[in-house]
Chain A
Amino acid sequence: MKIYVPLDSAAVALGADKLVSAIQAEGARRGVTVDVVRNGSRGMIWLEPLVEVVGSEGRLGFGPMTVADVPGLFGDLFAHPKALGLVEELPWMKGQTRLTFARVGVIDPLSLEEYRAHGGLAGLERAKGMTKAEIVAEVTESGLRGRGGAGFPTGIKWKTVSEAPGEQKYIVCNADEGDSATFADRMLMEGDPFTLIEGMAIAGLACGATKGYVYIRSEYPVAIRVMEAAVRIGREAGVLGPVFDMEIRTGAGAYVCGEETSLLNSLEGKRGVVRAKPPLPALQGFLGRPTVVNNVISLASVPVIMARGAAYYKDFGLGRSRGTIPLQIAGNVKHGGLYEVAFGLTLGQIVNEIGGGTATGRPVKAVQVGGPLGAWFPVSLFDTPFGYEEFAGKDGLIGHAGLTIADDTVDMLAMARFAMEFCAIESCGKCTPCRIGSTRGVETLDRLARGDTSAIPLITDLCNTMKAGSLCALGGFTPYPVLSALTHFPDDFVHAKEAAE
């Protein structure tokens, strides 16, 4: 009997490890040999822990499972109270276009054989037969843009590093996924680590880099463990070696290290302070040498592009947003999780049709798209299609494609204040607009909360200063949640005044 129980952090946080013990104990009690495979998550977090039993017609899902539901797995499966049917046939799974996440939840993350059997390493094999310029051209042609948030074309970045002079070059993977509502990097690293390794190895070939680093935040202990194990396995199997090798590094709790130049300083063992650009990291990055810094999902999307061709990938999407995007639907939502789909769904489709509205059953009031530095969108903007330019056109951003859904109890002035408070806590201190502006922002919003509406022009002015004068996105984008809250939910900012009077 073969049973899949996810090792994914979300599944574990909801009790997956206890289920494994219970399944093994129940199997032993009944004298049934049970082969438990720890897979990644399918991304349906509201059904986690989602256990799958391999049947004659496919993998049958059961969830959300509790220890009390375990004995039922050894009886009539179709009569099990948590039976969901064939996992692949669930609407959530069938509606997706899983390119980057094709294997996540499907295979044993640490089985290189299964990885190969499901199409893994085909991209790297193809890349080995190509010149550096050909690989760069293929990635450029795919239209892939940085999935970390900035949306810079991946192929252009690679071209700069590839053509830069230098004896030693590096591929650095930014796995410092600190934005609230984002967990795609974590799920990919936990559920299909070899995809990231393969993507980095291809990047190494394209750029002439022999060494890679994955900088993973310390808040992700499971991802660190799985990636370290995958690197060891990859090395033993010769996937990693003299041509390209890599190390896993652990962050230390600084949000700003998700900014690429802070990350490089941190990797070098320094304070994670932002560097002014130029010089670009592509020319003078890690230890002053040419360095590609890419997000996990950018790098993990490369194997499928190389295996199936740029045209195949580019065919998905809209406008200048090509390919697929792993949406992370989170916060107060009925059906939260990861949903990979071509760019172009409207915000309303994502929130209401895929997410099913709020978990509390109350009306949706606002959706923050792109993490703590992203704008809050009101329901009136739900017709905005999901794409880089489309969101920018509405004074927002898609960032790393995380969505925090909030119901009508959310106080937008409080959320604006939180954005400034967060910036003040996490500012690296290098530039004044961010270091000082965020603290002044908290104070100014507190004035508003006390009913002093004369602070509105001041907060607007402060936000413009931070936008224009900050060195990186932390200070530069904190105004997005603040100004969007003020613009779209003005009542939350004057209500305080009425209360004061």
Chain B
Amino acid sequence: MLDSADQSDRIAEILEAHLGLEGPLLPILHAIQEAFGYVPDSAVPQIAAALTLSKAEVHGVISFYHDFRAKPAGRHVLKLCRAESCQTMGADAVADRIKRALGIDWHETTADGRVTLEPVFCLGLCACGPAAMVDGRLVGRCDEGIVAEVAQ
């Protein structure tokens, strides 16, 4: 974990690197989340000042998009597709079994901080569903066996 001064310096670097872009806010937020695993609240005033936006506007953008987190996720992030094509291949039942195995519901993290479970609406793997993404890695025709991959 970076201390707050280091964090602020890193955010300043990210801001500096993106200010030349047209519409820089989303690339900045992605870069901050890439660096820290989430977008810390303390980043909001810093971003707002750099882009001459209000803090409310920056907060509004962060909270609009499903991708941006306000706090760190578990060590693993398991995303399961909930969309129609995967549903026709039994995605709902697979998701129920995975939720039971992990003891959590959507958007929750296991008590030991091991895994965060999130729904996703389509990974473009619609002819080999149910689809999943484990820490950024794509998985087709997944079943509850995927839980073993996030066991550590």
A contact residues vs B (CB 8 Å cutoff): 9-10, 12-14, 45-46, 48, 177-183, 186, 218-222, 247, 249-255, 266-273, 286-287, 328-333, 336-337, 359, 368, 372, 402, 404-407, 410, 415, 418, 422, 425-426, 428
- B125–A10 CB distance below 8 A: yes
What distance in Å separates the Cβ of A205 from its nearest Cβ neighbour in chain B? Answer: 21
Most buried by B among A46, A271, A337, A405: A271
B66 contact set on A, CB distance < 8 A:
252-254
CA gap between A72 and B126 in the complex, in Å: 30
- B30–A183 CB distance below 8 A: no
Contact of B88 among A183, A254, A372, A406 (CB under 8 A): A406
- A252–B26 CB distance below 8 A: yes
CA gap between A9 and B139 in the complex, in Å: 9
- A219–B23 CB distance below 8 A: no
- B64–A271 CB distance below 8 A: yes
CA gap between A368 and B83 in the complex, in Å: 12
- B123–A181 CB distance below 8 A: no
CA gap between A403 and B23 in the complex, in Å: 35
CA gap between A268 and B138 in the complex, in Å: 29
What distance in Å separates the Cβ of A265 from its nearest Cβ neighbour in chain B? Answer: 9
A425 contact set on B, CB distance < 8 A:
121
- A219–B22 CB distance below 8 A: no
- A269–B23 CB distance below 8 A: yes
- B61–A271 CB distance below 8 A: yes
CA gap between A332 and B90 in the complex, in Å: 9
B127 contact set on A, CB distance < 8 A:
10, 45-46, 183, 328-331, 333, 336-337
Chain A interface main SS type: mixed
- B89–A180 CB distance below 8 A: no
List 11 interface pairs A-B (beta carbons < 8 Å), by A numbering.
A9-B124, A10-B140, A12-B138, A13-B123, A180-B121, A219-B124, A251-B26, A271-B61, A286-B23, A328-B127, A418-B84
| Stretch binding the partner chain, chosen from B7-15, B97-105, B128-136 | B128-136
- A422–B121 CB distance below 8 A: yes
- B26–A426 CB distance below 8 A: no
Chain B residue with the shortest CB-CB distance to A371:
B84
- B128–A336 CB distance below 8 A: yes
Chain A residue with the shortest CB-CB distance to B21:
A247
- A255–B121 CB distance below 8 A: yes
- A331–B124 CB distance below 8 A: no
- CB proximity to A under 8 Å, residues B33-59: 51
CA gap between A414 and B85 in the complex, in Å: 14
B51 contact set on A, CB distance < 8 A:
269
Beyond A180-B86, A253-B65, whether A220 also contacts B128 by CB under 8 A is no
- CB proximity to A under 8 Å, residues B60-114: 60-61, 64-68, 83-89
CA gap between A499 and B136 in the complex, in Å: 43
CA gap between A48 and B131 in the complex, in Å: 14
Beyond A219-B120, A249-B27, A252-B29, whether A181 also contacts B84 by CB under 8 A is yes
What distance in Å separates the Cβ of A49 from its nearest Cβ neighbour in chain B? Answer: 10
B120 contact set on A, CB distance < 8 A:
219, 253
Chain B residue with the shortest CB-CB distance to A267:
B23
- B85–A45 CB distance below 8 A: no
Beyond A182-B126, A269-B25, A336-B128, whether A221 also contacts B136 by CB under 8 A is yes
Chain A residue with the shortest CB-CB distance to B89:
A332
What distance in Å separates the Cβ of B128 from its nearest Cβ neighbour in chain A? Answer: 5
Chain B residue with the shortest CB-CB distance to A266:
B26
Contact of A9 among B25, B138, B141 (CB under 8 A): B138
- B141–A14 CB distance below 8 A: yes
Most buried by B among A178, A250, A252: A252
- A14–B123 CB distance below 8 A: no
A251 contact set on B, CB distance < 8 A:
26, 67
What distance in Å separates the Cβ of B89 from its nearest Cβ neighbour in chain A? Answer: 6
B30 contact set on A, CB distance < 8 A:
218, 250, 252
What distance in Å separates the Cβ of A363 from its nearest Cβ neighbour in chain B? Answer: 13
What distance in Å separates the Cβ of A357 from its nearest Cβ neighbour in chain B? Answer: 13
B87 contact set on A, CB distance < 8 A:
415, 418
- A330–B122 CB distance below 8 A: no
CA gap between A249 and B120 in the complex, in Å: 20
Beyond A271-B60, A332-B89, whether A13 also contacts B138 by CB under 8 A is yes
